[in-house]
């Protein structure tokens, strides 16, 4: 009798353990459990932790509440300015209503993916190429609104949408490169022209300053000659301005004046007057003075 009773208790315990193992469910922290009893949603959503269901009567569906990162396959389309592009993006979403995500849509992941692809194609057709390349933030917001509107009924909320890459045809890339190069060249020419204008204003001021003092121009010429003469690997061709010859001639005349003042009247009378023929010879040979001036200029340059 006792043995039969112990056997019955053992059988009940074993059955209880089997029932407990079949009815026990564990819901993780990032999940929620939705129980279907005979095909109908029963009770509230099960919270994280240990929970029990009736075996063979209840069936639990677990829904992940983490943010899902879903890449959108590259979509090819024609922009509003008739340019063929391929655009791919990524969408971040999460489930906020587990019951709606399971009951209202067959596969909410597939539904969000298809809606994202359709919205991306629509946004490509409504936008221009410049907007796709430079104004992506506005396009991301518009794409997020287009996907989020139907997803609300599915118990899904769109966290954010980002356009990853925009692929252009090779011909369009070359055209854009030429456009950028032309724009750079235009700006370089404008900067060069502005520099030339500023330099011309400074040169004009320097020319007015040198016009007031002619000797400054001669000093500038000598400085240029000295700078060029320092390089011994070049041949220097120096034009002699007439003003420089006059400057040297004036210096020679100033050197002769003190000697003329030191002569007494008797010495002046004692000196024989030059014959007219000698004066005519000096008048007929002006090259001697030019040669003397050239010799003086050469000595000045050597010094």
DSSP per residue, 19-86: HHHHHEEEE-TTEEEEEEETTEE-SSPBPSEEEE--TTTEEEEEEE-SPEEEEEEEEEEE-TTS-EEE
What is 188-225 written as a DSSP string? HHHHHHHHHHHHHHHHHHHHHHHHH-HHHHHHHHHHHH
* SS3 category, 105: coil
Q: Which of 31-45, 50-64, 170-184, 276-290 has the lowest mean pLDDT?
A: 276-290
- For 252, the token pair is 């020679």
Residues in the chain: 303
Q: How many CB atoms lie within 10 A of CB 98?
A: 20
Whole-number pLDDT of residue 54 = 87
Band (pLDDT 50/70/90 cuts) for residue 258 is: low
pLDDT tens figures, 34-88: 999 888 888 888 899 988 888 888 889 999 999 999 999 998 888 888 888 999 9
H/E stretch holding 147: helix 136-151
Mean pLDDT, the chain, rounded, equals: 79
Q: pLDDT confidence of 171, banded at 50, 70, 90?
A: confident
Torsion angle of alpha carbons 67, 132, 149, 161, nearest 10°? Answer: 10
Query: Is the pLDDT reported for residue 107 higher than 80?
Result: yes
pLDDT at 275 over 60: no
Average pLDDT over residues 257-286: 47
Query: Using the 8-state DSSP alphabet, how is residue 169 labeled?
Result: -
CA distance 108 to 113: 8
Give the list of residues 6+ apart from residue 130 with CB closer than 8 angstroms, or none: none
């Amino acid at each position: 009798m006792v043995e039969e009773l112990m056997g019955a208790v053992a059988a009940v315990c074993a059955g209880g353990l089997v029932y407990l193992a079949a009815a026990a469910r564990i819901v993780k922290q990032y999940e929620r459990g939705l129980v279907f009893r005979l095909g109908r949603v029963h009770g509230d959503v099960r919270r994280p932790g240990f929970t029990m269901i009736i075996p063979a009567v209840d069936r639990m569906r677990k829904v992940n509440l983490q943010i899902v990162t879903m890449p959108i396959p590259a979509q090819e389309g024609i922009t509003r300015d008739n340019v063929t592009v391929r655009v791919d993006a990524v969408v971040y979403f999460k489930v906020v209503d587990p019951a709606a995500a399971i009951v209202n849509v067959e596969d909410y992941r597939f539904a969000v993916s298809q809606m994202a692809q359709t919205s991306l194609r629509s946004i490509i057709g409504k936008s221009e190429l410049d907007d796709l390349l430079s104004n992506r933030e506005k396009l991301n917001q518009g794409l997020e609104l287009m996907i989020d509107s139907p997803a609300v009924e599915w118990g899904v909320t769109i966290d954010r949408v980002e356009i990853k890459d925009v692929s252009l045809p090779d011909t369009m890339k070359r055209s854009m490169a030429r456009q950028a190069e032309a724009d750079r060249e235009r700006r370089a020419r404008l900067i060069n022209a502005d520099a030339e204008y500023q330099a011309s204003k400074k040169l004009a001021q320097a020319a007015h300053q040198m016009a007031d003092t002619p000797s400054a121009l001669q000093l500038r010429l000598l400085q240029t000659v000295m700078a060029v003469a320092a390089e011994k690997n070049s041949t220097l061709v120096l034009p002699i301005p007439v003003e420089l010859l006059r400057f040297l001639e004036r210096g020679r005349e100033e050197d002769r004046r003190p000697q003329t003042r030191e002569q007494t009247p008797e010495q002046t009378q004692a000196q024989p007057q030059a014959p007219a023929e000698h004066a005519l010879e000096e008048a007929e040979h002006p090259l001697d003075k030019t040669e003397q001036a050239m010799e003086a200029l050469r000595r000045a340059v050597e010094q």
